Structure 1
Amino acid sequence: MRKIVSVLAALLLIAALPVMAPAEAWVGVDFQFEAPEGMYQLGPGIEENDPAWALAGVGDAAAKLKEYQEMGVLANFLSEDGATDISVMQKVSKESETIFDLRLMEEEDKAEFLETLAKAGNEDVAIENGWFENKSGLLFYRIKIDVGGEREMHELIYGTIMNGYSLNIDIHTLDTGMTPEQEEIVEKMADSMVFTNILEKPPEDVSAALNALLLLILLLAAVAGPLIYVPIKSKRDKKKKARLTEQLSEFHKTNGKDTAHGEAVYVNETDCTREAIHRFSYYQAYVKNIGEVIFGTLLCVVTVCAAFLIDSVWWMKLAAVAVTAYYAYKLIAMPGAVEKIQIKVHSQGMSKTAHYTFYNDVFRVSGIQSANVVPYFQLTEVRRCGQYLYLYYGPDNAYLVDDYGFQQGESRDFEKFIRGKLQK
């Protein structure tokens, strides 16, 4: 009696397992199809310790479940001899969300879409593709891939896109070719598929298009801004320099090149050391041009953040990162470029000490250059940085005047004096 009860219990357990099922409808959330007869039915819903895995010949159930998760497998059908392996897979992508329903595509778009699905990489790969419409009106793309060489691989895919996701029926074989019977099984599954709930395609997301347009405008501004601003600034500086040169020429014709008028008001000696030049270079690069530095930095930060936050296409992300990296390099290199120019300018004189003598209408410079008389109208700006006054005579060049170098007059009075000359 015990033996009889044990046998009956085993038979009941086997009958309860989801294996070797007869032809019946496999029902999903919004679709169903006829499952193939006489095959083990596995899927992500079966527990890891379920005996069905062993009966189907799957040794590592955990690895199989992980594979199902990675590939989006909803159902996996295995023949008793293990020769036939069919998977039904569901995936959501940007492309599937955009297409939404394969039947709604234009004919030209369908042809392009089919062409991009699979391409032969070498002569050992043969690809056959086309379209298949089932009895309920669903449109499937059909792709058959045959790989030759040392190890053969054959794969057949019937796929469709509906309700914003792709649904594929996939069968593959290794080492042996695919039989007509196996191809027929997959075709029957596709032919029996019915969607029980077909959704309407939602309206296009206008905000995504606007975000992409905004990002494109930011990229164009980051690239085109310097291309427009730099030539305009250079042209403006050249005009200003030409006007000052003309005034200076007229001044020298009238007064001579080495003429001073009246008594000296201030006398100063400034050591143009490497440290002093280095300090001026950082001031010139970052402080004097603070507006351009902040604007360029913010533009790049906003552009690169927008590129990743709105999940834009890859080339926009790459362009945003490239533009930001270029700006960062230029920003870091700015003081070094200014310093090189200043060292070159100051190395042309007899010494590294600038001797200044300031009169009421002109001032005389010597030491760092040949003795020269400079009228005050030649100065364009006066800036202070710590103990130094920078007397600009061009957009990127200035005389360095040290507060501690006055031999005649006080530095506080001198700053008022020189700023008053510029106002006049």
Structure 2
Amino acid sequence: MMGPYRRGTLIGLSLIAVVGSVLMSSLLADPVAARGRGGRIEGVVVSATTGTPLADVRVWLDPAMTTDPAPRRRARSDRQGHFVFTNVRPGLYRLYAQKEDYLFAEYVDPQAGDAQTYLQVDDQTIISDIVIGLQPGGSVSGSIWDEQGRPASGIIVKLLPLTPSGERPSTTRVNSTRTDEQGRYRLSGLRPGRYILRAERHIVDRGSARLAFAYYPDADSWASAVPIDINAGETLTDIDLNFHPRTESAIIAGVVVDAQTGDPLPGVSVSVVDELNLGLRTKTTADGQYRLEGLPPGTYALSTHAETIGQGYMRTLENIALAPGLNAVDVELQPAPLIAGTIEYIGSGPPPAPGDFMISVHFARQSQGIRYTGQPTFEFRGLPAGRARIGVGFAAIQYKLAAILYGDQDITGQTIELHPGDQLADVRILITDDLAATSEIKEIDEVRHP
């Protein structure tokens, strides 16, 4: 169920009168130009502890889930902490902000006090009283040492938060970074809580990869690791970790082939990952071989990705149990359906810019989307088989979908049946403009800085 929403301020005639009779008369003379401009969202980002404006904060506006999702809109705060989104398409939105050394924040209307609050934008709505306060986060830093006691560079360092009960680590909100040339690392913007620190070294070669890992301070598993407690805004230093040789590990190896021809497939991405997000990946060799070593025995999700090979292959995902020593697992891949085509703008105004819309293919339980980059073609590879629908979601107020054509058929809003190896290579997506939305109207601003 959709959460509560907050309405912005609707521009009225009294506000329009402030800017002068010339603008007033031009709007009244052209009623078409007075509508269809979308909304405006603006505000400031400040330190929640000092109230000081924060510059260079990443702010993004996420549309509420709709039938056809629209691209996320992005902005950065200026030196005064100010950010703005103009020409916002009417709808419901969530607002987020993030800056290094601060906690990730979602805007919550102080009057509602509900984290599920949406911002409602109607035509010509202005929401200009937003203040987002960012809390300083905690930080952890230290050094990673290899088996010979030397600084280890390029090591992946992860902080896994323990669940509230402390029973096991969680794979949500995992903070990660890499060590520098001196083996040093720093993780910041951390929420208060208890964490497990893990270091991972991935040595990747052609067709193979080897894993080495350790938990703080010198443990083989999270259960024997020493938890790290971080208080609000606390800085912890000298949290060092040492690698050491493992005596027992699992190896998974095999060959990946085309299920229809039996031919080996080169360049297929093969990966395994366990429930704590520990794993490896590599790409198959010219004869379809792969090998992953140094894994702790246990249960893993084995997946393959081969979207760029030929017309693409369908992804596979299966759970496997790896015992110590060699585990032989071969994989057969089915050719994937392919959807490709062109984007044609048939409007009379300026054409869409990159990021103004997104093309999606929807299945019963998943969707795949491509953000418009300015190129006139699009292509979906590695799709699953099944019933699918092509859709377009817009971030820009002035554009809309005219039609989706496949050959001489109009398939706008219709589902199509996709089978392994199908090729829908002549899909045409026609985009037009809304003349009311493209009419030029002078922006009317309210108070920018609450």
Larger radius of gyration: 1
* Relative contact order higher in (CA < 8 Å, ≥ 6 apart): 2
* Greater per-residue helix proportion: 1
- Identify the structure with the greater strand proportion: 2
- State the TM-score, normalizing by the size of structure 2: 0.16
TM-score (normalised: structure 1): 0.17
